[in-house]
Amino acid sequence: MDAKKAPAGTPAVQMLGYSVNGKEDDIIPFSLLTKPGTIQPFSLTYDGKAVVVKLGGEAKQFPLRTKEPVVRLICSTGEFLFTDLTIISSR
């Protein structure tokens, strides 16, 4: 979240969601309360059976089977800046 838009430093909650086969988004029970303007490294990995999400110092795994996985990074408020983003195919 852009720190300039929350100068008081009010914490923001970051939640993760995912979509399977174009269905409605499901919320991963994984959230992080953080101060706006802080850097939050994260990673997503997929081994053909499950996705592992790492955010901050925690990790969650959820099962997912798909022939052609697609990665989309979306922010509901448009206030996140993704930098140093690398997507590497494991195939």
pLDDT 10s digits, 15-28: 566 666 666 665 55
> Per-residue pLDDT for 52 more than 80?
yes
Residue 33 in any domain: the answer is yes
> Per-residue pLDDT for 33 more than 70?
no
Poorest-pLDDT segment among 11-20, 27-36, 82-91: 11-20
Q: Which own/partner pairs from 58-62 qualify as long-range (CB within 8 Å, at least 24 positions apart)?
A: 58/30, 58/32, 60/28, 60/29, 60/30, 62/18, 62/28
Residue 81 in any domain: the answer is no
Q: What is the pTM of this model?
A: 0.57
Predicted confidence at residue 22, as pLDDT, reads 62
> Per-residue pLDDT for 62 more than 60?
yes
| Domain tally, the chain | 1
CA–CA distance, 5 with 84 (Å, rounded to integer): 23
Residue 75 in any domain: the answer is no
